[in-house]
Chain A
Amino acid sequence: MADQEEQNMIDIYVMGRRYRVPEGLTIMTALEYAGYKYVRGCGCRGGFCGACSTVYRKEDDYKLKMDLACQTAVEDGMFLVQLPFVPALREAYEIEDVDPGEKDNVLLDLYPEIARCVSCNTCSKACPQDIEVMDYVQAALRGDVERTAKLSFDCLHCGLCSIRCPADIKHYHLAQLARRLKGRYLDLDSSELEKRIKELEEGIYTEEYEEMLKMTIDELKKCYEERKFEEEG
């Protein structure tokens, strides 16, 4: 306990109840320190899976803020709540039936509520990934699948944008559709990939692979550290 006394302790409020926790913890570890156990709303703990959406307010502020619990440090006087899941509606579609080249706007057909966007930008302000959410919704509205997919690339599907939206837009499902359409219809098939698969089947790396199997862990580590990258182009 002496160690903890030396640490700077702060007060946080979890669903209204006050806890004293050490400064420097993430929201996620602070909640565990306070005795909570995650059974939902916690995944990779590395900011990649989007499972630990959290809503908070600071004592002196009127604004509600949003973030990922595993990526945000606790601060003194934080009021916290965890969101285990966002039950936003995802439209069903057959990817083979939604060629964006054949219709005016596939994204608008499946998610017509995007036409209600008033450009308030509340979605972008809620995004823990700093994605320009409003801009990709606007791109979707004009049928620009490529731009919607590109701007939304870092989305983790935490759903905070949709919770905040005054127009009930399901941003992250819309964005996922755009990225799927891009993969299915817009991106070119790679001729290099086919070539490489053929080379692998013909055993281009078999000899090196067998050599690696004989290496010790230390030899493998050295090999990894000294690896060379092929020039891109």
Chain B
Amino acid sequence: MIQMEDGYLYYPGCTLKTKASDYEESSKKVMEALGKPLVEMDNWYCCGAVQSLATDDIMHQIAAVRTMLCAQEQGERELVTLCDMCYNVLKQANKRMKEKPDELETMNEFLDEDPDYEGQVEVHHIFELFRDMKDEIKKLVKKPLDGLNVVTYYGCMLLRPNHVSIDNTEDPMIMEDILELLGANTIVNPKRTECCGSYHTVNRGDIVENRVEEIVARAAEDGADVIALSCPLCQFNLDYHQRVSDHKIPVLYLTELMALSFGMEAGLKKHKINPRGALKDFLE
């Protein structure tokens, strides 16, 4: 069992192990520096990447519940996610099991080869941990991001639906508050809680291109040097679909910026729009 003062049990999700490895690497380094390392679960399952909203669909809650069960069997009650999709799916499925004992019973009967899930695990997003570690973050800032204009982007999964939101759904400040500690110039942008087009990227790229153009055009108007976010799908969409835009604003994980301000380099490898130019003052 991980002692809470030593670190947190961590659910990576598939994307963090492939396309979004920059996010995993930077988050691990930042948490390590904060003295609360992320400890990957012994075993875990793909969250499913979309939360099924049908009231009678228990099948698509199984994967999430299996992951909760893995945390439970590791003797843990707190589980940390980085990916916004994973956060949203695990949080909603877990809430459903906690609030609907009849569904939990059906689930446990289906999972007859495993122990029962007792509904005691809590799911957190890494930003929620940062919110509780403001003093520690401030102490670690060695290279303040002075003069770097950052537009935040929340997208949907951290804030909607309201009952799993990590902050005020309409006016979130969790990222802005962290960026302020890093010394960055934070710009509050009205497009930050709009959808990037999400999975339309698979077969309707035109929809995503339109969404992304609106978001980056407003960011450019506001003088953004970079956009900061946490969702790997938003990152991919905002980064990749700028290929048809006149704008080329680097799209960074917040933890990549945190690592930079801590005097470390982490991530920055898989970006389509190279962020090194915008960050040259803060790189070695």
Contacts and interface: CB of A to CB of B under 8 A. Distances in A.
Given A104-B19, A125-B113, A138-B46, A118 B14 contact: no
A110 to B, nearest CB: 14
B106 interface: no
6 contacts: A118-B48, A118-B60, A120-B62, A138-B45, A142-B14, A142-B18
A143 B48 CA distance: 16
Interface in A53-78: none
A45 B17 CA distance: 42
Interface of A: 104-105, 108, 115, 117-121, 125, 134-135, 138, 141-144
Nearest to B52: A118
A188 B12 CA distance: 28
B66 A119 contact: yes
Interface in B1-26: 12-14, 17-19
A81 B62 CA distance: 31
The 5 closest A-B pairs by CB, nearest first: A119-B63, A142-B17, A142-B14, A104-B18, A119-B45
A142 B46 contact: yes
Interface size band for B: 20 to 34
Nearest to B49: A115
A142 B62 CA distance: 18
A98 B16 CA distance: 21
Interface of B: 12-14, 17-19, 43-46, 48-49, 59-60, 62-63, 66, 110-111, 113
Given A138-B46, A141-B14, A144-B17, 16 more contacts: A104-B18, A115-B46, A117-B63, A118-B59, A118-B62, A119-B46, A119-B63, A119-B66, A120-B59, A121-B111, A125-B113, A135-B43, A138-B45, A142-B12, A142-B14, A143-B18
Contact of B46 (A105, A117, A120, A125): A117
A141 B46 contact: yes
Contacts, number: 41
A63 to B, nearest CB: 11
Contacts of A141: 14, 46
A144 B44 CA distance: 13
Contacts of A138: 44-46
Contacts of B66: 119
B183 to A, nearest CB: 34
Contacts of B43: 135
A138 B41 CA distance: 14
Contacts of B113: 121, 125
Given A125-B113, A141-B46, A118 B17 contact: no
A56 B17 CA distance: 40
A30 B145 CA distance: 77
Contacts of A115: 46, 49
Contacts of A134: 45
A117 B13 CA distance: 14
Contacts of A120: 59, 62, 110
Contacts of A118: 48, 59-60, 62-63
B89 to A, nearest CB: 12
Nearest to A116: B48
Nearest to A134: B45
A146 to B, nearest CB: 12
Contacts of B12: 142
Nearest to B110: A120
A222 B66 CA distance: 55
A56 B18 CA distance: 41
